[in-house]
Amino acid sequence: MQIDWRRDNSLTNFFFNCSSCDIESRITIENFLDNELQKILNVKAEKLNDAIKKGIIKFFEFHGHPALQFRKGIGKIEDGTVIYFRDKIEVIRGFPKIRRTLMLHPTLKNHFNDEIVVEEKMNGYNVRIVSIGDEIVALTRRGYMCPYTTRKAVEILDLSPFFNDYPDYVICGEMVGTENPYVSHYYEEIGNLGFRVFDIRKKVTNEPLSIKKKHKILEEYNLPGVRVFGSFKVDEAAEKVKELIKEIGEDRREGVVMKDPIMEISPLKYTSSRAHDDEIFYAFTYPFDFGKDFFFSRVVREGFQAYEMKEGEEELQKRAQRLGESILFSMISTIKNVASGNQATEDMVIDVENEEEAEEFIQYLHNLGVYAVVHKIKGNKAVIRRIHQATTDKVNNLLNGGLY
Amino acid sequence: MQIDWRRDNSLTNFFFNCSSCDIESRITIENFLDNELQKILNVKAEKLNDAIKKGIIKFFEFHGHPALQFRKGIGKIEDGTVIYFRDKIEVIRGFPKIRRTLMLHPTLKNHFNDEIVVEEKMNGYNVRIVSIGDEIVALTRRGYMCPYTTRKAVEILDLSPFFNDYPDYVICGEMVGTENPYVSHYYEEIGNLGFRVFDIRKKVTNEPLSIKKKHKILEEYNLPGVRVFGSFKVDEAAEKVKELIKEIGEDRREGVVMKDPIMEISPLKYTSSRAHDDEIFYAFTYPFDFGKDFFFSRVVREGFQAYEMKEGEEELQKRAQRLGESILFSMISTIKNVASGNQATEDMVIDVENEEEAEEFIQYLHNLGVYAVVHKIKGNKAVIRRIHQATTDKVNNLLNGGLY
């Protein structure tokens, strides 16, 4: 069946051509949900229908074809799931949330079986790369097709051989480096922009390959995986990760993801003190644009880590100093900046062929509700300036005598 | 009129005896709201009725008489307002929220006229003392009659002469000192328990006396007022308060309230860095029992204060160190404590004549939904132990491998 998408009545009707019987038909969305989608997703039609009414499932057009985006999780279907209606219905499940432990001991022992594989958690943004029809697209965590990421993924990686052989697989990984419009972080081995695979999953089921199988495929197709720190017995893993996380922090790297070798148990993540501080510094650079949860959760991580590391007086004082400075120095710098008449802005460099590509990315951000402008273009580097309006406005208001 | 309170139909009917016509009558609450309350409060009957339905206005019985408590503000009537139905209807308005400035300059100049009186803001709890019928009662901020505060207020202060002359006035002040079940803070000049008046207001209108008139009455009736740091011209006030707040902080005191001498402009408050840190320390001792707002707002205060104080590198580092330690050291101490099998508890000492008084206070806390026990009694000192259940449970859960 090929769906003929008419925007005007998107929420109530689908028009489609059946490729086998060659008849143009029309199906109401209720019937479509009843007949098709609930079978594929194993979610009841009423739930899906309700989610559409509430705007949790959003219809959009992608390259002339209809598609659905899940803005929240529904049943077992994750937030960020995207469904494309092409010659066949392609379900790209959202990347499952990786839960965090605040204590390595006893959590690792409780949660996993015999063995734990420890991979690096890198500080970038989560990307799913998939093949849809004859295109390869890169989806952000929330399920948006990012034009920059899509272009760069194809540039950085030779993906066609893999997708020719495995069209039903999804490559899940982190886009990292400094020329990255979401999370800019310098990695020695990456430089400007790089991609590291952490999972290969199946399209409809979201089932991940075992770590062994993943590595075999990555090697075969010459795709770069995230760093693997090793495989440890569950009894010794907590101590190993404790040592590791200190080294990782000293290198200003983020943390680890701990996995069941056969990927039957859900992975867990754990992060370095340095990463907490860096995120707190970032959040307090734009304090009124970030949720209060963001800040609280990172501070709580520091408390439990300091406890588990059994830190002495001096180490604790250093941790406290770093934490306090991350909060205060970032905020004071923004207050000074706004007091001088500037806005609270954030510059990100992306690599573009021409001005149009930069503008296309800006348009994409605007569609997401993010206010940004092309600040300048020099050669093939475009500086994208994101304006943190809430922080700019609130700091200005408080500086001018606004009450709190 | 004397209302005959029947609990069974409290929300729909009032039974009352008219003292002039001597007839027992019944009035529905709707009529009562229409006829009486909306006139007194200048709030529309529908609004009052709606608030009763939503539980925002709560009926309760006080010493055999009906009463109303406003759990949220309605129109101009403040949260914490209490209305007693005795021989006459007594309206005790909630204490108005004092707004905070994060910047002394230019806020003081913008907000006030020529002159500003700077009073001390003490670290205790807000109490309104009133005369109702033949009783003197002390109300907490939210409008509860606290038995301990009521007993102590009458013990500490000789209030009868004042209330004989001014039955329609409300004494607003801070209950401070170490033997205080809400906010225990040591003040050299207070010791165990003391009361300091900051406002005298009129019952129904909430209109405050001018500062001059307040001091005159306080002197006349020998009632202790909060410390007055002075009266300053609006142009020089910001600099004066900046100096003051540093000294106040060094003495580990809380802050200041800045007032219009004739009390026509609403007062503003401003607090010391030390006070922010102390509150953050307290909040992170029970991190899962406090709102995330609590923490965020205090940190933001620190940022603006550091900016306005134009602090140098070294001062900023010290401020950051104190902030970081307030967050981390408190939290780690609680984690250690819970890891040792204890609960996250808070001990408060109150002064009692006998065990019954301690139990009465515990009962009062239970009615408010606060879980506390009498930990021990020695002489006339009772140790009240408050249990912070959310923190105890959550820390235990995380220590035992709970995911975050």
Residue-wise pLDDT tens digits, A331-349: 999 999 999 999 999 999 9
Distance (Å) from the alpha carbon of A317 to chain B's nearest alpha carbon: 7
Residue-wise pLDDT tens digits, B86-109: 778 899 999 999 999 999 999 999
Distance (Å) from the alpha carbon of B316 to chain A's nearest alpha carbon: 8
Q: With beta carbons under 8 A apart, name residues in chain B contacting A99.
A: 403-404
CA distance linking residue A245 with residue A371, whole number of Å? 36
CA distance linking residue B149 with residue B146, whole number of Å? 5
CA distance linking residue A252 with residue A269, whole number of Å? 17
> Beta strands B13-17 and B24-28: pairing type?
antiparallel
Radius of gyration of chain A (CA): 23
Which residue in A has a C-alpha nearest to residue B297's C-alpha?
A404
State residue B293's pLDDT score. 87
Q: Please tell me which of A41-55, A209-223, B76-90 the model is most confident about, judged by mean pLDDT.
A: A209-223
Nearest CA to B137 among B113, B167, B117, B110?
B167
b/e burial code for range B315-349 (CB count within 10 A of at least 16 → b): ebbebbbbbbbbbbbbbbbbbebbeeeeebbeebb
Arithmetic mean of pLDDT, A51-59: 88
Quickly list DSSP for A65-133. Answer: EEEEEESS-BTTBPTT-EEEESSSEEEEPPPPPPEEBS-STTHHHHH--SEEEEEEEPSSEEEEEEEET
CA–centroid distance for B19 within its chain? 37
Residue type for position B53: K
Return the biggest CA–CA distance within chain B: 78
- Contacts of A11-20 with CB under 8 Å at 24 or more apart are A11/A52, A11/A59, A14/A66, A19/A87
Task: Name A50's Cβ contacts closer than 8 Å, sequence gap at least 6.
Answer: none
If pLDDT is split at 50, 70 and 90, which confidence band does B8 have? very low
pLDDT greater than 70 at residue B29: no
Contact B102/A322, CB-based, under 8 Å?
A: no
CB A272 within 8 A of CB A249: yes
- List the single residue in B100, B287, B304 with the smallest CB-CB distance to A300: B287
Output DSSP code: residue B118.
E
CA distance linking residue A46 with residue A40, whole number of Å? 14
Question: B335 — phi, psi (to 5°)?
Answer: -60, -45
State residue B16's pLDDT score. 53
CA distance linking residue B210 with residue B260, whole number of Å? 8
Residue-wise pLDDT tens digits, B290-327: 878 888 999 999 999 999 999 999 999 999 999 999 99
Arithmetic mean of pLDDT, A16-37: 59
pLDDT greater than 70 at residue A359: yes
SS3 state of residue A155? helix
Bridge partners (DSSP) of residue B258 are B118, B268
Q: With beta carbons under 8 A apart, name residues in chain A contacting B101.
A: 401, 403-404
SS3 state of residue A198? strand
CA distance linking residue B51 with residue B68, whole number of Å? 11
Quickly list DSSP for A305-346. Answer: HHHHTT--HHHHHHHHHHHHHHHHHHHHHHHHHHHTT---EE
Nearest CA to B124 among B34, B190, B221?
B190
ipTM score: 0.90
Contact A323/B319, CB-based, under 8 Å?
A: no
What rounded mean pLDDT belongs to chain A?
91
pLDDT greater than 50 at residue A1: no
B141 burial via Cβ count (<10 Å: 0-12, 13-18, 19+): middle
State residue B6's pLDDT score. 44
- Which residue out of B293, B296, B334 would a mutagenesis test of the A interface target, given it has the greatest number of A Cβ atoms within 10 Å? B296
CB B358 within 8 A of CB B384: yes
Q: With beta carbons under 8 A apart, name residues in chain B contacting A103.
A: 398-399, 401
CA distance linking residue A224 with residue A201, whole number of Å? 16
pLDDT greater than 70 at residue A4: no
Nearest CA to B141 among B93, B212, B188, B194?
B93
pLDDT greater than 80 at residue A33: no
- List the single residue in B301, B327, B400 with the smallest CB-CB distance to A323: B327
State residue A342's pLDDT score. 97
CA distance linking residue B93 with residue B98, whole number of Å? 14
User: Residue B148 is encoded by which pair of tokens?
Assistant: 């301990």
CA distances from A62 to A74, A163, B277 (A): 22, 20, 52
SS3 state of residue A189? coil
Q: With beta carbons under 8 A apart, name residues in chain B contacting A325.
A: 317, 320, 324
CA distance linking residue A48 with residue B56, whole number of Å? 37
- Only one residue has tokens 């933001």, namely B300
What rounded mean pLDDT belongs to chain B?
91
Q: With beta carbons under 8 A apart, name residues in chain A contacting B301.
A: 404
CA distance linking residue A148 with residue B369, whole number of Å? 54
CA distance linking residue A119 with residue A127, whole number of Å? 17
CB A60 within 8 A of CB A67: yes
Q: With beta carbons under 8 A apart, name residues in chain B contacting A297.
A: 404
Task: Name A43's Cβ contacts closer than 8 Å, sequence gap at least 6.
Answer: A37, A74, A75, A76, A77
Between these two residues, B60 and A265, which has the higher pLDDT value?
Answer: A265
Which residue in A has a C-alpha nearest to residue B311's C-alpha?
A332
- List the single residue in B307, B320, B398 with the smallest CB-CB distance to A304: B398
User: Residue B191 is encoded by which pair of tokens?
Assistant: 């010791």
- Only one residue has tokens 């981390």, namely B328
Contact A110/B401, CB-based, under 8 Å?
A: yes
State residue B343's pLDDT score. 97
b/e burial code for range B66-87 (CB count within 10 A of at least 16 → b): bbbbbbebbeebbbbbbbbbbe
Output DSSP code: residue B96.
P
Residue-wise pLDDT tens digits, B255-286: 999 999 999 999 999 999 999 999 999 999 99
CA distance linking residue A372 with residue A97, whole number of Å? 28
Distance (Å) from the alpha carbon of B72 to chain A's nearest alpha carbon: 19
Contact A300/B331, CB-based, under 8 Å?
A: yes
CB A357 within 8 A of CB A379: no
pLDDT greater than 50 at residue A228: yes
CA distances from B160 to B130, B137, B155, B166 (A): 11, 12, 11, 10
Distance (Å) from the alpha carbon of B308 to chain A's nearest alpha carbon: 9
State residue A10's pLDDT score. 41
Contact A316/B339, CB-based, under 8 Å?
A: no
pLDDT greater than 80 at residue A22: no
State residue A293's pLDDT score. 87
Per residue, the 3-state secondary structure of A245-304, as one string, reads: HHHHHHCCCCEEEEECCCCCCCCEEEECHHHHHHHHHHHHHCHHHCCHHHHHHHHHHHHH
- Contacts of B30-36 with CB under 8 Å at 24 or more apart are B36/B89
Q: With beta carbons under 8 A apart, name residues in chain A contacting B319.
A: 324, 328
State residue A27's pLDDT score. 56
If pLDDT is split at 50, 70 and 90, which confidence band does A28 have? low
Q: With beta carbons under 8 A apart, name residues in chain A contacting B255.
A: none
State residue B302's pLDDT score. 97
Q: With beta carbons under 8 A apart, name residues in chain B contacting A336.
A: 307
CA distance linking residue A60 with residue B174, whole number of Å? 59
- Stretch among A156-165, B9-18, B272-281, B368-377 having the lowest mean pLDDT: B9-18
- Which residue out of A100, A103, A276, A338 would a mutagenesis test of the B interface target, given it has the greatest number of B Cβ atoms within 10 Å? A103
Task: Name B246's Cβ contacts closer than 8 Å, sequence gap at least 6.
Answer: B272, B309
Arithmetic mean of pLDDT, A32-58: 84
CB B101 within 8 A of CB B268: yes
Range list of H helices, A190-257: 211-220, 234-250
Arithmetic mean of pLDDT, A301-319: 97
CB A42 within 8 A of CB A75: yes
B18 burial via Cβ count (<10 Å: 0-12, 13-18, 19+): exposed
pLDDT greater than 60 at residue A18: no
State the count of interchain CB pairs (< 8 A) between A and B: 154
Bridge partners (DSSP) of residue A200 are A171
Distance (Å) from the alpha carbon of A91 to chain B's nearest alpha carbon: 29
Quickly list DSSP for B40-55. Answer: HHT--HHHHHHHHHTT
pLDDT greater than 70 at residue A15: no
Nearest CA to B204 among B101, B78, B365?
B78
